[in-house]
Amino acid sequence: MTGVMNAPDGVNGAAATLSMLVEYAFGLRSEDQVSGGPDWTKTERFDVQAKINEADIAGMDKLSPTDKKARLRLMMQALLAERFQLKVHSQTKQVPIYELVVARGGPKLTDAATDADPHLQLGKDGKPLHGFIRFLNEMSVAQGYSMPWLADFLSGPMAGLGRPVVDKTGLTGTYNFTLDWTPPHPGVRLGAPDGPSPPEDSPSLFTALGDLGLKLQPSTGPLETIVIEHAEHPTAN
């Protein structure tokens, strides 16, 4: 496993490149949005455990998931500036994108706030998990998922679309839904790390979204990128 993920007491990076850490810190959707800097920023890997003190953890538990994510990103930006001597600037350019919109006939999503399905995945507090997605052999099951989060997921390499996706649905809630679609990368499918790729006749992601009353329409739009001006190898703890 490689990548950057939230932990109860901070952020963990596993075999993460500096560009992956920058992607997380600035809320980007792909490493492709990071450029500049020394060659090693995309090749050398680091294990990072960024810890939050107990007082800050208590305060962050009171924040909404969106505000908590934003606070963690700011903390990671400060860590990178301190430990990697990172200096960056942002640029915006026009690129091909997909707009995620509601298809004719309306959305076919279940409101997470009122869903009483007994098969929902529960957290330690006994409440349904929020912002959770799991990948099975022939489907992807999302729980408490917002449309901006779905757009972020569709923008990533796991979806294989090759373009950023922007939420234009106008749907403001969180929803439970199932995508009848097999991820193109075997490693993300539960229980099949070395399994075969999905068969050619598997439903496409476009078809799966259509079954939910959603669709992707090609467009162009602005994409924020981060340019690394300066970075140095960090010292170990």
Q: What is the pLDDT of residues 48-57, one digit of tens each?
A: 999 988 888 8
The answer to whether the pTM exceeds 0.85 is: no
For the stretch 137-140, contacts whose Cβ atoms lie closer than 8 Å and that sit 24 or more positions apart, written own/partner, are 137/182, 137/189, 137/190, 137/191, 137/192, 137/195, 138/180, 138/182, 138/202, 139/178, 139/179, 139/180, 139/181, 139/182, 140/178, 140/179, 140/181, 140/183
Q: What is the pLDDT of residue 191?
A: 38
Percent of all residues in the chain with a pLDDT value above 90, rounded to a whole number: 50
Is the pLDDT at 194 greater than 70, yes or no? no
- Summarised one tens digit per residue, pLDDT across range 25-40 is 998 877 888 999 999 9
Query: To which H or E segment does residue 82 belong?
Result: helix 65-83
Q: Where are the beta strands (DSSP E) in 150-212?
A: 165-167, 174-179
Domain boundaries, the chain: 1-84, 90-225
